[in-house]
């Protein structure tokens, strides 16, 4: 394969889809060398096939707002790759959602899911619906209207959506209710991230953040370090940032900064448990601002317009959105002595930022490895649903630990540098790719 030629061809087929092209370029650059050692991959044109989604559904979603006015949004489901299992991946409700964003997320999901050790293909979906400022009733009506179309294309052995940005337990509840009504069947397993009383897995809300910290612990341990007493900053205040803050604090670290679209909150003494739980209140208020945190807790100070990356810290955890940490942010972190960055959001760092971290030789790991505990626990939820039982919290946690350790080992196996350090980007990309590519190869040309 020739990355340049492949990218030229892809740019022709998907003009202007920059996030999707960015995600593909990163994977191709990582796997090029290994791929070229496998003539059987080239003969089956695996790479040309793996970069394209299997299919995309686009649909109109019309719902009625609180003023009685009909509103129309666009809905999507990108079924990216099902070589190793049914399509699996979240739904994102955010005003910036478009086909390029969902293709990048579906592509990443394919490799991430392969890393989890579980049999799940990759997908992503969502809508340009903006939950900011919406009432509970509006959210419910939108979710129901969205499911009115989506339900035709999903199923326990076909495609199992979950949450992502703007979609949490509340939204999954509204969608599951409508799915049952339409299907006239109680399918516990058609969505994951369900409530605990109706088929959800214990620990699923925490799993992305918890898993990320288990991964960070392994990275640090391999480097002879410990997370205890280290300072951490996070961006965002959804389930992911909440789970990451909770586990980091439990492990003895101090979470001293959290940011939102409006600015950053600095908590020099570290977050307490009530502060961590307040993150969820911020999220469910649908205001999408972090400033109220500093009003509620006088120990914290809010600075408008600044990012979490402006705070001096040991460990930085992007937990909000793609490309939220750019080259300038990376330079600031490095100047302040940050020595570990783990993407908890999907593609949280720009290529310039990743390059700067790798050049500086600090610990860096990509989202598809770090945040895979979320979808892995979704996989565990699917297994429990299939078996019609619920595992206890400690059973799920044990499995999550095992999965995160396996992912770390896979990264080490494929990402070991000559100097003994680990290129986690390369390691995660090769490990995920090899599994999906092998599965595609063995199933013929289709």
Residue 89 as a binder of ligand 2IT (CB under 6 A): the answer is yes
- The interface region with ligand 2IT, picked from 84-92, 174-182, 245-253, 325-333 by CB under 6 A, is 84-92
Residue 375 as a binder of ligand 2IT (CB under 6 A): the answer is yes
Task: Tell me how many residues contact ligand 2IT (CB under 6 A).
Answer: 13
Q: Site mask, ligand 2IT, residues 17-36, x = CB under 6 A? A: --------------------
- The interface region with ligand 2IT, picked from 9-17, 348-356, 370-378, 421-429 by CB under 6 A, is 370-378
Q: Look up residue 189 and give its two tokens.
A: 């397993």
Among 88, 124, 230, 246, which one carries the catalytic annotation?
124
Residue 257 or 374: the one with the smaller Cβ distance to ligand 2IT is 374
Residue 338 or 346: the one with the smaller Cβ distance to ligand 2IT is 346
Buried b (16+ CB within 10 A) or exposed e, 35-67: beebeebeebebbeebbebbeebebebebeeee
In this chain, which of 26, 164, 171, 314 binds ligand 2IT, going by CB under 6 A?
Answer: 164
Question: Least distance to ligand 2IT from the beta carbon of 208, Å?
Answer: 7
- The interface region with ligand 2IT, picked from 176-184, 231-239, 277-285, 373-381 by CB under 6 A, is 373-381
Q: Answer for the pair 385, 189: CB distance below 8 angstroms, yes or no.
A: yes
Nearest to 308 by CA among 361, 348, 357, 365: 348
In this chain, which of 346, 350, 385, 429 binds ligand 2IT, going by CB under 6 A?
Answer: 346
CA dist 290 and 300 (Å) reads 11
CA dist 109 and 103 (Å) reads 10
Give phi and psi for 265, each to the nearest 5. Answer: -110, 130
What DSSP string runs through 348-389?
-B-HHHHHHHHHHT-EEE-HHHHTHHHHHHHHHHHHHHHHT-
Q: Residues 125, 100, 104, 340: what is their CA dihedral angle, to the nearest 10 degrees?
A: -110
Question: Least distance to ligand 2IT from the beta carbon of 185, Å?
Answer: 21
Position closest to ligand 2IT via CB: 90
CA dist 228 and 365 (Å) reads 19
Q: How many CA atoms lie within 13 A of 141 on its CB side?
A: 17
Residue 192 as a binder of ligand 2IT (CB under 6 A): the answer is yes
Q: Site mask, ligand 2IT, residues 98-127, x = CB under 6 A? A: -----------x--x---------------
Is 124 noted as a catalytic residue in this protein? yes
Q: Where in the sequence numbering do the catalytic residues fall? A: 124
Binding footprint of ligand 2IT on the chain (CB under 6 A) = 88-90, 109, 112, 162, 164, 192, 346, 371, 374-375, 378
């Amino acid at each position: 394969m020739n990355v340049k030629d492949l990218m030229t061809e892809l740019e022709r087929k998907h003009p202007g889809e920059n996030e999707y092209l960015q995600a593909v370029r990163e994977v191709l650059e990582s796997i090029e060398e290994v791929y070229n050692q496998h003539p059987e991959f080239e003969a089956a044109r695996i790479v040309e096939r793996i970069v394209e989604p299997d299919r995309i559904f686009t649909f109109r979603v019309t719902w009625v707002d609180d003023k009685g006015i009909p509103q129309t949004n666009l809905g999507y489901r990108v079924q990216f790759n099902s070589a190793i299992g049914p399509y699996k991946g979240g739904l994102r409700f955010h005003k910036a959602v478009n086909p390029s964003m969902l293709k990048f997320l579906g592509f990443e999901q394919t490799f991430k899911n392969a890393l989890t050790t579980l049999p799940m293909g990759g997908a992503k979906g969502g809508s340009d619906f903006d939950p900011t400022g919406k009432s509970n009733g509006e959210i419910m009506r939108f979710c129901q209207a969205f499911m009115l179309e989506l339900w035709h294309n999903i199923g326990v052995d076909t495609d199992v959506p979950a949450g992502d940005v703007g979609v949490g337990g509340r939204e999954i509840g509204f969608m599951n209710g409508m799915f049952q009504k339409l299907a006239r069947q109680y399918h516990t397993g058609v969505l994951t991230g369900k409530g605990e009383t109706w088929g959800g897995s214990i620990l699923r809300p925490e799993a992305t953040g918890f898993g990320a910290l288990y991964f960070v612990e392994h990275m640090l341990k391999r480097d002879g370090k410990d997370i205890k007493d280290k300072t951490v900053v996070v961006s965002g205040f959804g389930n992911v940032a909440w789970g990451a803050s909770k586990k980091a604090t439990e492990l003895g670290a101090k979470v001293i900064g959290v940011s939102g679209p409006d600015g950053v909150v600095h908590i020099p003494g570290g977050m307490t448990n009530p502060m961590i739980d307040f993150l969820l209140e911020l999220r469910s208020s649908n205001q999408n601002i972090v400033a109220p945190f500093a009003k509620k807790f006088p120990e914290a100070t809010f600075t408008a317009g600044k990012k979490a990356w402006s705070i001096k810290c040991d460990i930085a955890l992007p937990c909000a959105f793609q490309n939220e940490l750019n080259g300038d942010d990376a330079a600031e972190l490095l100047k302040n002595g940050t020595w570990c960055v783990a993407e908890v959001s999907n593609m949280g760092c720009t290529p310039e930022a990743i390059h700067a971290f790798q050049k500086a030789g600090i610990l860096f790991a990509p989202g598809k490895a770090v945040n895979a505990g979320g979808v892995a626990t979704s996989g565990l939820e699917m297994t429990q649903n299939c078996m019609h039982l619920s595992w206890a919290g400690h059973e799920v946690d044990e499995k999550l630990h095992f999965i995160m350790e396996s992912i770390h080992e896979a990264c080490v196996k494929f990402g070991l540098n000559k100097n003994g350090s680990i290129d986690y980007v390369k390691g995660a990309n090769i490990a995920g790719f090899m599994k999906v590519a092998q599965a595609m190869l063995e199933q013929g040309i289709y």
